[in-house]
Amino acid sequence: MRALLACVLLCFSLASFADIHEELYETAGWTEQRANFADALTAAQQRYQETLPPAVFQALVTNSNRRFASHAIDQRALRALRENLQEPQPALAFFQSPLGRKIVSAEVLAARREQLARHSGGLPRMDAGSNRQLLIRHLAHAIPASEAGAEVSLALAGVAADSLSQMMPGLLGGGQAQSLLGTQRQRMIEQIDADLDNTLLYVYRDLSDAELEQFLQFAQSDAGQAYYQAALQALRAGLAVGMSSSDLQPQQGI
State the pLDDT at residue 244.
64
With CA atoms as reference, report the closest residue to 47 among 156, 167, 121. 156
Does 12 map to a domain?
no
The backbone region for 253, taken as left when phi is positive above 0, alpha when psi lies in -120 to 50, beta otherwise, is beta
Q: pTM value?
A: 0.83
Domain that holds residue 219: 17-245
Does 6 map to a domain?
no
Does 96 map to a domain?
yes
State the pLDDT at residue 55.
79
Q: How does pLDDT run along the chain (254 residues), one tens digit per residue?
A: 454 444 443 444 444 445 899 999 999 999 999 999 999 888 888 887 878 788 778 878 888 888 899 999 999 999 999 999 999 999 999 999 999 999 999 999 999 999 988 988 889 999 999 999 999 999 999 999 999 999 988 887 777 666 655 555 554 454 555 555 667 888 889 999 999 999 999 999 999 999 999 999 999 999 999 999 999 999 999 998 877 666 665 544 44
Does 2 map to a domain?
no
Does 11 map to a domain?
no
State the pLDDT at residue 73.
94
Does 254 map to a domain?
no
Number of domains in the chain: 1
Does 10 map to a domain?
no
Does 91 map to a domain?
yes
Rounded to whole angstroms, the Cα distance separating 218 from 224 reads 5
